Chain A
Amino acid sequence: MTHWTDEQITHWLYGLEPEAAHLEECSDCRGRAENAAARKSAATTKPEVSWEFLAEQRRSINRRMERPLYDWPRIRAFASVVMLLLVAVLSFNLLRPPAATVPLATPADERLFSDLVAIDQSTEPRAVKPIRSLFEE
Chain B
Amino acid sequence: MRAIAILLAFSLSLAAQLPKPFYPWWSSPVVKDLNLNQDQRIQVRTTIRGYRGRLLDLRSQIEAAERDLEYQFNQQQVDGVKANEAIERLAKARADLTRTLSQMSLKLRAVLSQQQWQELQKRRPSKGQPTISPDTDPR
Contact = CB atoms under 8 A, between A and B. Distances in A.
Interface of A: 100-105, 109-110, 112-117, 119-121, 123-128, 131-132
A105 B48 contact: yes
Contacts of B79: none
Given A113-B27, A113-B132, A123 B18 contact: yes
Interface string B40-55: 0100110010001001
B103 interface: no
A126 B12 CA distance: 14
Nearest to A128: B7
Contacts of B136: 110
Given A120-B98, A128-B7, A103 B139 contact: yes
Contacts, number: 100
Interface residues of B, number: 44
Contacts of A104: 26-27, 31, 41, 44-45, 48, 138
Binding site of A, secondary structure by majority: helix, strand, loop or mixed? helix
B66 interface: yes
B101 A120 contact: yes
A127 B10 CA distance: 13
Contacts of B21: 117, 120-121
B11 A125 contact: yes
A128 B10 CA distance: 10
A125 B69 contact: yes
B92 interface: no
Contact of A123 (B15, B52, B59): B15
